[in-house]
Structure 1
Amino acid sequence: MIPLSFVLAISAVWAAPNTGNPNALWSCLSGKGWNLETVSNANYAKDSTAFNERLSFKPVAIVSPPDLNGVAGAVNCARTNNFKVSALSGGHSYAAFGLGGQDNQVVINLKNLKNITLNSDGTVVSGTGNRLGDLAQAIWDQGQRALPHGTCPYVGTGGHTSYGGFGLFSRQAGLLLDTVVSAQVVLANGEVVTASPTQNTDIFWAIRGAAPSFGIVVSWTYQTVPAPSTVTFQLGWSKSLTQNQFVTAFSAFQNFSTTAPNALGFDGDIGADGNGGISLTFLGVWYGAASQFQSTIAPFLAKIPAGYTLTANNMTWIQQLDFLAGSSSLSTAAPDTLAQHDTFFAKSLMTTGPSSQTALNSFASYLYSQGAHSDTNWFIGFDLYGGKISQTASNATAYTNRNAFITYQFYASSQNSNPPYPADGISFVTNMLNSLEPNPQEAYPNYVDPTLTAAQWKSQYFSTNYARLLSIKNSVDPQQVFSFPQSIS
């Protein structure tokens, strides 16, 4: 048992973060080629603007070291001057935790750590400054290899890997963090260590589900697989579905998905159709033999309302990724002009089995009565989990929600994607989730929700793994150098 005095001491550290002298900090960070930015710098306002502009935090310093030694040096400067540290990879944290999630944080931007090397054994070493699109394109170009991951090219590999890394290929190949075979990590004391199944095993366990609380991963080593050919498909209705038809279609999706083969990645979107109704679209990828696609999907098609349109196309792995990204290129060399910033609130829900008919009726009733007339731009994304994800034990990695059946993302942004956020936006999204599941047990940490209480996020993100995470945290970072509102503490 951890002594109460130690727990109180740790709590006191969190209660009074970032109490150092900024001038001493800036002096330590200056003159080392780390591209120091403070509030007086011309680029500070742009570089400190959160992806989610509903939130605003002001770092005491932003540094962009050129290499891992620079990252370690910046961590040392922050620690010795009594400031907390956050690592910034892609910058897409829904709660702006890459900017600290609070003011006066030292932000270490990893954008310069962009090496990608595919080895002869199929492993790839990737710096944490890489985005998903660049990593996917590189391993295709270097050897026609693949990894399971999300579809947005601009999402950073750091956070995506740290908190899961789901993609349509995950039912067949696991989460992105399941492919990690080792990592280089800068610890709170500035030491650079290798974490793997044979070295620093507690750290290796913790970073696969909660890395930002334990250090800065400067590179991941993933085990890739040969890139499969695909059949990529979309299904939707040109006319608005009635409420009963919506429930019928979604029930069919749930029922079909309970026995769907692992080679099928299946997800979809729900939104307002602009005509006072609700749209429902399904999207998926078949990674098996192309000749088997029609027979695989046929039982689902037989149970959904008539009038749908199904399009299916044979694609190479990289063509499929381009299609899913809605782009002709996965490169992130140019700024993301389509989704550089948004003003939004989101929640997630992971169900462990099909929702009941009563729950689906409640959900549909809310969507058709409230969603069709909301003053936000909203959508609900849903992803089929299971397959290889659930074949890993819930305590094998810090990421624990292995029994998920469907994961939902409830997302609503302001009408023009700019501040201010509608006053009723948070309650609209919260009630949307509650209409489907009023007592959520699991959530996806990559759709981080800053409104969850400490008890809620600890339980919904980490469940019984939290106790081990806390023990490791107290061992490797007792001063809480890596600290943010939902860090392990």
Structure 2
Amino acid sequence: MRLEEDSRQIWRDNLRLNRRELVRSAAATALLGPTAAIAAKPVTKIPHKIPSVFGISDNRFDDLRRGANARWLGNDQSRITVPLSNSDAKDAVSFAVDRGLRLAARSGGHCYESFATEGIELSVNMREFKSVGFDQEFGAISVGAGCTLGETYGALFRRWGVTVPGGTCPTVGLGGHVPGGGYGALSRMHGLIIDHLAGAEILLVDRDSNIRQTVALRRDHGSSRDLWWALTGGGAGQIGLITRFLFATSDGQRTPADILPRAPENVIQSSVRWNWDDLSSSAFKRVVRAYGDWLEAHSGNSPSARSLFSQLRLQPRTAGSFEMMTQIDPDVPGAESSLAAFEQHVIQDTTAVRSARKLPWLMATIDTIAFSISDTTRRFKGKSAYLRKGFTDEQLDTLYEQLGSSNIKNPAFVAMLTSYGGKINEIHPTETATWQRNSIIKINFIVFWDNASEDNEHISNMRKLYSSLFSTSGGVPVHNEAAEGCYIGYADEDLQSKEWNKSGFTYKDLYWGGNARVLTELRTRYDPHNIFMHAQVS
């Protein structure tokens, strides 16, 4: 293949260069003596090994080139490399830099848009970076960037009984989830996953195109802490290639069982389901309004309220019903009474069907699909919004008009309202790169389908609902008293479209708010040649 032929030619050229330097050095030694020879020897770069790359003829290609969204399958001309060590990863970056290839790293592959697939010439698949252990030097638990959330939770729990408050989809990779500022079922109690990030090991390309490995640390001052800060919500796929993460809630040498939150022993998972045929317009709006009202009133310090995590999954009438899933730690004092009060507040006088079960925490987290709706075999489109308050009456009208009618024929269309706030909102917006520290609800709007011929229909329905909900602010949730922008972890290229974003605010404003300018400066500093780029870098 052309790429392999080019790589071998680079290697041969480097070997010839080294032989010439050896001849010159030997000649200098013979004529002038050893001291003069050392002084005369020019400084040359040691060539990196050529990484093992493969293309479309390899039986792994079709599987490894695609991500979780079947809309983005990658290019037939792209090449893939699977590094097994830091040295391999460094060689891969060097190879891409030397050849001017567009590079992208792949961890779990859950990017909503095409950032890690379309137009990529070399995909660096990091899935073999799965080592988990206690790093004595840094006093933190080290987790490879190729681990999925499920693998991470399992390793941390089985070894030390601890966890990190990350997302609820077990197949999402840490490599994208952490720098995106990921959140999950324990975040109201313990904060975001980046609130427990002590550091990250990363490969950078400097102004002289040299690749260097460094560890960005929270505890340091100056450039190291600046780099750490940029990785706490600035988004994946930029600045450099992360090889591992270091987790510890606070800095200091301790045992691994003490440096992260203890995982719950058990959880209660409950489901409340409403049939559309049992709901009038006013009843539907009362349910959605009550959900937001409760979260507004319970984003404070109450441990029992903070331990409650909920998703209200609004689906169209064609789905027949919609559901509220809730999880709580029963060992927190007052937790079960808080769950009962919460559900009664939302259900009120409506007709609903409730069920509940108690499960061991790890089983509930990685072996059930209670809070995960992703299907990595299907096409999908997603959008996001942070809300500081519940929906207005006008927004509730919009939700009912569009979901309560039969206009949206696809039942796999979801507006997922997820509980937020609690511990998350105790952190100042500038303490990490994640600006959104005042919200009570985070929404993931998502629709799944199978056939490319239906793309326009499903994407149009999603855009219509989203732009109508935020019509008073240009079709997007701008930062104001009611909303707090969008989530880079649910990337949405529509934010760059003047047709769908008429707010006057850029995607950077919506993702990063008051942190956007500093993030842009840091990205320019640490990636001066734009080696790690996609359509929505900071």
What TM-score range do you get, normalising by the shorter chain?
A: 0.7 to 0.9
Find the partner of 2:269 among 211, 218, 232.
232
Given residue 427 of structure 1, which amino acid in structure 2 is its aligned partner?
Answer: S
Name the structure 2 match of 1:321: 365
Find the partner of 1:393 among 428, 436, 455.
428
Q: Secondary structure at the match of 1:340?
A: coil
Unaligned runs of 5+ in 2: 13-47, 249-259, 299-304, 479-484, 498-504
Q: Could you say if the C-alpha distance between residues 26 and 357 of structure 1 is closer, same or farther in structure 2, counting changes exceeding 3 Å?
A: farther
Given residue 431 of structure 1, which amino acid in structure 2 is its aligned partner?
Answer: K
Q: Distance in 1 between matches of 2:524 and 2:274?
A: 53
**Contact 1:34–1:66, Cα closer than 8 Å, also in 2:** no
Name the structure 1 match of 2:515: 465
Find the partner of 1:286 among 318, 325, 328.
328
Name the structure 1 match of 2:126: 110
Q: Secondary structure at the match of 2:272?
A: strand
**Contact 1:162–1:208, Cα closer than 8 Å, also in 2:** yes
Name the structure 2 match of 1:360: 396
Q: Secondary structure at the match of 2:54?
A: coil
Name the structure 2 match of 1:192: 213
* Match runs of 1:281-430 below 5 Å: 281-287=323-329, 289=331, 292-300=334-342, 301-302=344-345, 304=347, 305-322=349-366, 324-325=368-369, 339-369=375-405, 373-375=408-410, 377-414=412-449, 417-430=450-463
1:61 Cα deviation after fit: 2.1
1:274 Cα deviation after fit: 4.0
1:326 Cα deviation after fit: 5.1
Alignment of 1:222 with 2:266, yes or no, is no
Q: Could you say if the C-alpha distance between residues 247 and 190 of structure 1 is closer, same or farther in structure 2, counting changes exceeding 3 Å?
A: same
Larger radius of gyration: 2
Q: Could you say if the C-alpha distance between residues 27 and 342 of structure 1 is closer, same or farther in structure 2, counting changes exceeding 3 Å?
A: farther
Q: Distance in 2 between matches of 1:126 and 1:387?
A: 26
Q: Secondary structure at the match of 1:145?
A: coil
Alignment of 1:452 with 2:495, yes or no, is yes
Alignment of 1:24 with 2:11, yes or no, is no
Given residue 213 of structure 2, which amino acid in structure 1 is its aligned partner?
Answer: V
Q: Distance in 1 between matches of 2:457 and 2:412?
A: 13
Q: Distance in 2 between matches of 1:77 and 1:65?
A: 13
Name the structure 2 match of 1:84: 102
Find the partner of 2:72 among 55, 58, 75.
55
In terms of mean alpha carbon deviation, does 433-442 or 107-116 score higher? 433-442
Q: Secondary structure at the match of 2:495?
A: coil
Q: Could you say if the C-alpha distance between residues 258 and 57 of structure 1 is closer, same or farther in structure 2, counting changes exceeding 3 Å?
A: same
Residues 273-295 of structure 1, C-alpha deviations (whole Å, 9 max, x = no match): 546x5x23111222363662342
For the aligned residue pairs, the C-alpha RMSD in angstroms reads 2.9
Name the structure 2 match of 1:146: 163
TM-score w.r.t. length of structure 1: 0.85
Q: Distance in 2 between matches of 1:73 and 1:382?
A: 43
Q: Could you say if the C-alpha distance between residues 22 and 461 of structure 1 is closer, same or farther in structure 2, counting changes exceeding 3 Å?
A: farther
Q: Distance in 1 between matches of 2:513 and 2:7?
A: 37
Q: Could you say if the C-alpha distance between residues 290 and 181 of structure 1 is closer, same or farther in structure 2, counting changes exceeding 3 Å?
A: closer
**Contact 2:50–2:95, Cα closer than 8 Å, also in 1:** no
1:40 Cα deviation after fit: 3.9
Given residue 62 of structure 1, which amino acid in structure 2 is its aligned partner?
Answer: I
**Contact 1:132–1:150, Cα closer than 8 Å, also in 2:** yes
Q: Distance in 1 between matches of 2:327 and 2:193?
A: 17
**Contact 1:22–1:60, Cα closer than 8 Å, also in 2:** no
Q: Could you say if the C-alpha distance between residues 156 and 303 of structure 1 is closer, same or farther in structure 2, counting changes exceeding 3 Å?
A: closer
Alignment of 1:250 with 2:288, yes or no, is yes
Q: Could you say if the C-alpha distance between residues 67 and 256 of structure 1 is closer, same or farther in structure 2, counting changes exceeding 3 Å?
A: same
In terms of mean alpha carbon deviation, does 467-476 or 317-326 score higher? 317-326
Residues 11-51 of structure 1, C-alpha deviations (whole Å, 9 max, x = no match): xxxxxxxxx98853575599958441223434323322332
**Contact 1:89–1:111, Cα closer than 8 Å, also in 2:** yes
Q: Could you say if the C-alpha distance between residues 194 and 432 of structure 1 is closer, same or farther in structure 2, counting changes exceeding 3 Å?
A: same
Unaligned runs of 5+ in 1: 1-19, 331-335
Given residue 51 of structure 1, which amino acid in structure 2 is its aligned partner?
Answer: A
Q: Could you say if the C-alpha distance between residues 36 and 222 of structure 1 is closer, same or farther in structure 2, counting changes exceeding 3 Å?
A: same
Q: Distance in 1 between matches of 2:350 and 2:414?
A: 23
**Contact 2:271–2:354, Cα closer than 8 Å, also in 1:** yes
Q: Secondary structure at the match of 2:456?
A: coil
**Contact 2:183–2:193, Cα closer than 8 Å, also in 1:** yes
**Contact 2:313–2:417, Cα closer than 8 Å, also in 1:** yes
**Contact 1:164–1:446, Cα closer than 8 Å, also in 2:** yes
Find the partner of 1:432 among 454, 461, 465.
465
Residues 116-158 of structure 1, C-alpha deviations (whole Å, 9 max, x = no match): 1146998421101111111111111102112111122111111
Extract structure 1 runs of 4+ deviating beyond 6 A. Answer: 119-122
Alignment of 1:209 with 2:242, yes or no, is no
Report percent identity of matched pairs: 22
Given residue 286 of structure 2, which amino acid in structure 1 is its aligned partner?
Answer: T
Q: Distance in 1 between matches of 2:142 and 2:295?
A: 35
* Match runs of 1:126-165 below 5 Å: 126-165=143-182
Q: Distance in 2 between matches of 1:484 and 1:294?
A: 45
**Contact 1:84–1:480, Cα closer than 8 Å, also in 2:** no
